[in-house]
Amino acid sequence: MKRAVFFFSGGLLLALGVCFPDNYYLTVTGVAILFNAVLAIALNMLLGFAGQISLGHAAFFGIGAYSSGISSVHFHANPLVGIACGVVFSAVLSYSIARPIFRLKGHYLAMATLGLGLILNVLMVQAGKWTGGPDGLSGISKLSVAGFEVNEDITWYWLMSGFTVFTIWLSLNLEDSRTGRALRAIHDSEVAAKSLGVDTSEAKAQVFMVSAALSSLAGSLFAHERGFISPDSFSFFFSIELVTMVIFGGMGSTYGAFIGAALLTALPELLTKFEDLEVMFYGAILMGTMIFMPNGIAAPFGTMATKLCTKILRREVNDAMS
């Protein structure tokens, strides 16, 4: 069932790209959506599956972006070098700080990850010699790998579609696996998970690492796509936005994270006609969704699908019995 949706969403991205290769919304807003979708799906592995909040996730996105930006601008290195540095650095950093941080729970964990995000953001601003400080870093090279250059909007659309589908695939795989179940177990009852032999601090550290590495990879691509980055894109506010996307879409659901990212990225575009009232509408939609659909906007579809599956299963059982 989840696999069916997977092929459907992959097909949809493909069809959109083939049908509207010159559409502004698809190649600009669409690509922005795909970046946020990857980040939301990566955050959902931590927040949705394992139930551990991170209010500093934008920082890992930033590590990737600056790692690519700095290696491109200052060292004229191959883009792959910057990407690899970012992923490795994010992975090592997240894994090594995970144990002390994830010993904390609830509000305390939120504070600790918030602090982490702030520290990294301040570094981006203060290390001006390398990062360009608050003015940002410009002149980042186009992404070119083995002679193949990604420079047109539609090429970026294809690349990001591929990356998004890959991330969805990883996330679905993780959800239905021994490690994924252990993470979801931690979400519901950490004491029970421990009592059954789950090394919970190790599991949390691992998922944090995977989530950070994916975010960093997205950051690297972001830097090459924009050609310019500034600390504003990786601030505390963006971390909050990512958490909002996951919760708005439906915590714990891969597609929920995708839908949340898509809607919350596209919403400001759709609301521009309200001009000054835009932000008010945006807020009202968030509040309304949370009040009437507390499990997220994707949850009703999930329930419908489960009901359908149960019905089919029942029928099979009945057929087998009769």
Partner 1 sequence: MQCLEVKGIEKVFGGLKAVSELDFSVEAGSVYAVIGPNGAGKTTLFNMLSGAYIPTSGSILFNGVEVAGLSPHKIASFGITRTFQNLQIFWNMTALENVMVGCHLKGSCGIFSALFRLPRMMAEEKHLAAFASEAIAFCNLNDWKHVKANAMPYGILKKLEIARALAAGPRLILLDEPAAGLNDTETAEITGLITQISSQGVTVLLVEHHMGLVMTVADRVLALNYGEKIAEGTPHEIQNNRKVIEAYLGQNS
Under 8 Å between Cβ of 164 and 38: yes
> Interacting stretch for partner 1, rule CB under 8 A, among 9-17, 77-85, 111-119, 195-203?
195-203
Minimum CB–partner distance for residue 82 and partner 1 (Å): 23
- End-to-end CA separation in angstroms for the chain: 26
Minimum CB–partner distance for residue 43 and partner 1 (Å): 16
Judged by CB, which is closer to partner 1: 29, or 179? 179
Instruction: Report d(CA 288, CA 321) in Å as an integer.
Output: 46
Contact with partner 1 (CB under 8 A) among 18, 19, 146, 191: 191
- Count the site residues for partner 1 by CB under 8 A: 32
Contact with partner 1 (CB under 8 A) among 12, 192, 270, 279: 192
194 touches partner 1 (CB under 8 A): yes
Judged by CB, which is closer to partner 1: 188, or 276? 188
Minimum CB–partner distance for residue 49 and partner 1 (Å): 10
Minimum CB–partner distance for residue 36 and partner 1 (Å): 21
Instruction: Report d(CA 299, CA 288) in Å as an integer.
Output: 15
Minimum CB–partner distance for residue 199 and partner 1 (Å): 5
Minimum CB–partner distance for residue 285 and partner 1 (Å): 26
CA 117 to chain centre: 15
Site for partner 1 in 247-286 (CB under 8 A): 252
Q: Pairing relation of β-strands 143-145 and 148-150? A: antiparallel
Judged by CB, which is closer to partner 1: 23, or 179? 179
Taking each helix axis from N to C terminus, what angle separates 278-292 and 254-270, rounded to the nearest 10 degrees? 150
Residues 6+ apart with CB under 8 A from 60: 90, 94, 211, 212, 213, 215, 216, 219
In this structure, how many other beta carbons lie within 10 angstroms of the beta carbon of residue 285?
Answer: 16
Contact with partner 1 (CB under 8 A) among 42, 70, 98, 210: 210
Instruction: Report d(CA 59, CA 229) in Å as an integer.
Output: 13
Residues 6+ apart with CB under 8 A from 259: 249, 250, 297, 298
Site for partner 1 in 158-187 (CB under 8 A): 170, 173-174, 177-182, 184-185, 187
Contact with partner 1 (CB under 8 A) among 310, 311, 312, 315: 310
Token output for 231: 């600390």
Helix (H) or strand (E) holding 48: none
193 touches partner 1 (CB under 8 A): yes
Cα-based angle 208, 223, 142 (whole degrees, multiple of 5): 135
2 touches partner 1 (CB under 8 A): no
In this structure, how many other beta carbons lie within 10 angstroms of the beta carbon of residue 273?
Answer: 8
199 touches partner 1 (CB under 8 A): yes
Judged by CB, which is closer to partner 1: 84, or 299? 299
217 touches partner 1 (CB under 8 A): no
Q: Is 71 helix (H, G, I), strand (E, B) or coil?
A: helix
Instruction: Report d(CA 156, CA 158) in Å as an integer.
Output: 5
> Taken in order 117, 122, 125, 130, is the CA torsion positive or negative?
negative
200 touches partner 1 (CB under 8 A): yes
Minimum CB–partner distance for residue 2 and partner 1 (Å): 13
Residues that bind partner 1 (CB under 8 A): 170, 173-174, 177-182, 184-185, 187-189, 191-200, 203, 206-207, 210, 252, 306, 310, 313
